């Protein structure tokens, strides 16, 4: 992770296509990769690095501290400023502004592989937009964007995740009849459990028993509450730990991800539990103000059991 983009080996040599640069483009850099096309009135400053098969649109400004990978598309009017690293296969929309820190220092702004930045969006200095993330048009990104997240607004907030089905997985579970079958998740091992509900004049009660409703013996519990709606929790996997999530009040969206597919569930009733097994990446977001989440865990807290970086998680899954 955090590896710098390499300088193109054939930068500005005789094998580069001279027709790829519009005669009214101003290209001061000598580090331009093969088959990179630069349109009219674009300005690429000295020191900038552009990889292979990059498209630079009309009136684009690329600052001298910018390093761009291969197959990147930069639409008309975009501005890439400061110390900025744009990885392979990124798409930058028209008039977007991607700002890296100015001056000397080690801090950079990073746009990870295959991310998409919408038209008129702004990325503030020093942030990271994760792999395959999508920044909506006009969004103002003021904090890091996790991998695969979709963000919108000013300031930008997570509104969903890429390639995560929303029907029927995210249908409100509280609206389902108790006899309805629960959806089967695509993420192997993760599962929804129906918990019994008893109602009388004294109120309602839901419960779970080990072996019948709980797929493991809990050794720990914790409760999550008072989470501001803008915040995202989880964003990690466990090597050995099982978790069982029950939203006792309010609602919360939970994403489970095995590195190949993702599912999203709206937990909005104490009658439903979600089992997250080891080596499944979990995310919770869009907590309502009154949300109260109970989490049962199969072991006591062990810091070494966590995988907190999504890139490390994907590498562990592949290995």
Give me the active site residues, please: 236
CA distances from 3 to 220, 247, 318 (A): 38, 39, 20
193 in Cβ contact with 270 (< 8 Å): no
Beta carbons of 156 and 135 less than 8 angstroms apart: yes
> What CA–CA distance (Å, rounded) separates 7 from 69?
9
Decide the pairing of beta strands 262-267 and 252-257.
antiparallel
Question: Contact at 8 Å (CB) between 284 and 264?
Answer: no
Instruction: Report residue 267: phi and psi, to 5°.
Output: -90, 115
HEC readout, 225-276: ECCCCCCCEEEEEECCCCEEEEEEECCEEEEEECCCCEEEEEECCCCEEEEE
């Amino acid at each position: 992770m955090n590896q710098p983009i390499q300088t193109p080996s054939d930068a500005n040599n005789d094998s580069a296509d001279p027709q790829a640069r519009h005669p009214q483009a101003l290209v001061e850099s000598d580090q331009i990769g093969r088959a990179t096309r630069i349109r009219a009135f674009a300005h690429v400053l000295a020191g900038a690095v552009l990889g292979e098969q990059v498209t630079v649109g009309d009136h684009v400004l690329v600052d001298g501290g910018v390093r761009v990978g291969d197959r990147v598309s930069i639409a008309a009017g975009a501005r890439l400023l400061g110390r900025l690293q744009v990885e392979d296969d990124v798409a930058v929309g028209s008039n977007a502004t991607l700002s890296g820190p100015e001056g000397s220092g080690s801090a950079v702004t990073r746009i990870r592989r295959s991310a998409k930045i919408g038209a008129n969006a702004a990325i503030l200095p020093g942030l990271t937009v994760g792999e395959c993330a999508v920044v909506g048009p006009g969004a103002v990104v003021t904090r890091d964007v996790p991998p695969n997240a979709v963000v919108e607004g000013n300031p930008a907030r997570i509104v969903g995740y890429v390639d995560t089905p929303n029907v029927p997985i995210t249908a409100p579970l509280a609206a389902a009849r108790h006899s309805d079958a629960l959806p089967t998740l695509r993420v192997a091992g993760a599962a929804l459990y129906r918990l019994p509900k008893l109602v009388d004049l004294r109120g309602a009660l839901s419960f779970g028993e080990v072996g019948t409703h709980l797929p493991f013996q809990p050794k720990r519990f914790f409760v999550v509450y008072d989470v501001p709606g803008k915040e995202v929790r989880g964003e990690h996997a466990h090597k050995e730990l099982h978790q069982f999530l029950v939203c006792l009040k309010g609602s919360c969206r939970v994403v489970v991800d095995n590195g190949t597919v993702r599912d999203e569930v709206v937990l909005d009733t104490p009658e439903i539990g979600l089992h997250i097994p080891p080596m499944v990446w979990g995310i919770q977001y869009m907590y309502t103000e009154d949300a109260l989440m109970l989490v049962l865990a199969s072991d006591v807290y062990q810091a070494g059991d966590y995988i907190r970086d999504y890139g490390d998680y994907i590498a562990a899954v592949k290995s």
